[in-house]
Amino acid sequence: MSADMTKVLIHPSHSLPFLQPGRFVRVNTGGLNFGWGCVTFFQRKIIKEKGKKSNPRAAEEELKRQGADGYIVDVLLHCKHADSATLHKLEATSATEGEMAIVPCELSDTSGETMVVPVLLSCIDRISSVRVHMPKDLKLASDCKDMCKRMAEVDKRLKGNIPLLDPIKEMNIKDAEFKMLVQKIGSLEAKLREHKLFGTTEEAELFTSYQRKVEMQTQLKDVQRKIIDAQSAVQLDELKCRKRVLRRLGYTTAEDVITMKGRVACEITSGDELLLTELMFHGVFNDLTTEQTVSLLSCFVFQEKTKNEPPQLQDDLAAPLRIMQESARKIAQTSNECKLQMNEEEYVESFRPELMDVVNAWCRGAKFSQICRMTDVFEGSLIRAFRRLEELLRQMCQAAKAIGNVDLENKFADGSVKIKRDIIFAASLYL
């Protein structure tokens, strides 16, 4: 709110009539508070474009657009030249070339120098009702020193509380929204003065602690941003490795164009699309019966660990399981060769065969009570696994359709029909 009020106060239409020589103004720019100084002169900025003739109307429009940045105010300030360690550049414009490298200092600081500093009108944040008599010329160093003594005397008499111009009564700003803003700021300042910590030494300590907190929060945000950038770099490296795996396995070309194999993998989302696509393109499902196919696919949807050891499977189920595990090892080895780190054993063991004989029995017409006695898996987990298996079968059916394999498409569709029955797929258990 204070910034909004300052923006209105220093607008040329409001502030210029009060920038007479000797007027006290406060300069605050670039995060540096130069304190109070005296106005000596102000003028418009001269806007010139190289290679173009001067256009008074265009210059006037540009000046209006710039607002407070379109005027230069010469202010008598007590400051000192910055050394190389504490160099801060004042946002000022002068008739001479270059920028003025100065920093603020107290009026009592003998190492400082009282000098006329050209600043933009936007660098002034307060205009005082105090005016002092100014000599006609400040070229002599003695005159500047005398003015420094006068400013110090004013500051001493007023005990540092330099009165400000009243924006409504004295500056005659009639904008209704601005009046409401001034009233709101006044009420907030009154509440601030009523606080028990106002003006105490504890207030300064708390304010310093709060500043440190803000600085630490800023540093924390910077560190978090760096962490995010580092993670993005890691993810980018991982993405490159994944693309390398896809090219090696034939899912994309060297130009990163998706192949037919890649399109088939895109149809599968309920299981490991790479391994399922490899099994499909290597013809593993072609030689299996519908029951064997559905039983093998159950390894992709069941992820829970059971207390019992893996069941001893019959040869008609153990053989396709071994082929699937060999294909999984090849994918893990290819990933590691492409610098995409993958634990081969963990990847192979993630495809759990505990429900293969259960699913095989269900496809052959067994009752739900019978398959529940074949495993220690909870009934709810069984139902969830069968529902996910049916969804995977539908996706495999679409994948087979994408490559035009009608026999394989019919086999997956037949498997879906065989498992989708009885209480597992009932609309409600409340019969």
pLDDT tens track for 45-90: 776 555 555 566 666 666 667 777 888 999 999 888 776 655 544 4
User: Residue 142: its pLDDT value, please?
Assistant: 84
In the block, which residue shows the tokens 């610098």? 339
| Mean pLDDT confidence for 349-354 | 90
The answer to whether 144 touches 114, Cβ cutoff 8 Å, is yes
User: Residue 196: its pLDDT value, please?
Assistant: 81
Mean pLDDT of the chain: 84
User: Residue 92: its pLDDT value, please?
Assistant: 41
Query: How far is the C-alpha of 423 from the C-alpha of 180, rounded, in Å?
Result: 71
| Mean pLDDT confidence for 323-339 | 93
User: Residue 52: its pLDDT value, please?
Assistant: 55
Listed ranges 162-171, 191-200, 355-364; the one with the highest mean pLDDT: 355-364
Query: How far is the C-alpha of 287 from the C-alpha of 208, rounded, in Å?
Result: 78
| Mean pLDDT confidence for 335-354 | 90
Residue 90: which of 43, 28, 36 has the closest Cα?
Answer: 28
Q: What φ, ψ does residue 166 adopt, rounded to 5°?
A: -75, 120
pLDDT at 209 over 70: yes
Q: What is the CA radius of gyration of the chain?
A: 41
The DSSP output letter for 252 is B
User: Residue 311: its pLDDT value, please?
Assistant: 72
Q: What's the pTM?
A: 0.51
Q: pLDDT for 78-106, tens place per residue?
A: 888 776 655 544 444 333 344 457 888 88
pLDDT-based confidence at residue 416 (cuts at 50, 70, 90):
very high
Secondary structure, 3-state, 294-355: HHHHHHHCCCCCCCCCCCCCCHHHHHHHHHHHHHHHHHHHHHHHCCCCCCHHHHHHCCCCCC
User: Residue 298: its pLDDT value, please?
Assistant: 93
| Mean pLDDT confidence for 285-304 | 92
pLDDT at 121 over 50: yes
Query: How far is the C-alpha of 57 from the C-alpha of 224, rounded, in Å?
Result: 50
User: Residue 320: its pLDDT value, please?
Assistant: 92
Does the CA dihedral 141-146-151-152 come out positive or negative?
A: positive
User: Residue 312: its pLDDT value, please?
Assistant: 81
pLDDT at 150 over 80: yes
User: Residue 34: its pLDDT value, please?
Assistant: 87
Q: pLDDT for 376-412, tens place per residue?
A: 888 889 999 999 999 999 999 999 999 999 999 999 9
Distance of alpha carbon 258 from its chain centroid, rounded? 32
| Lowest-pLDDT choice from 14-23, 115-124, 185-194 | 185-194
pLDDT-based confidence at residue 362 (cuts at 50, 70, 90):
very high
Q: pLDDT for 236-266, tens place per residue?
A: 888 889 999 999 999 999 888 999 999 999 9
Question: What percentage of the chain carries pLDDT values higher than 70?
Answer: 89
DSSP secondary structure, 105-119, as one string: --TT-TT-EEEEEEE
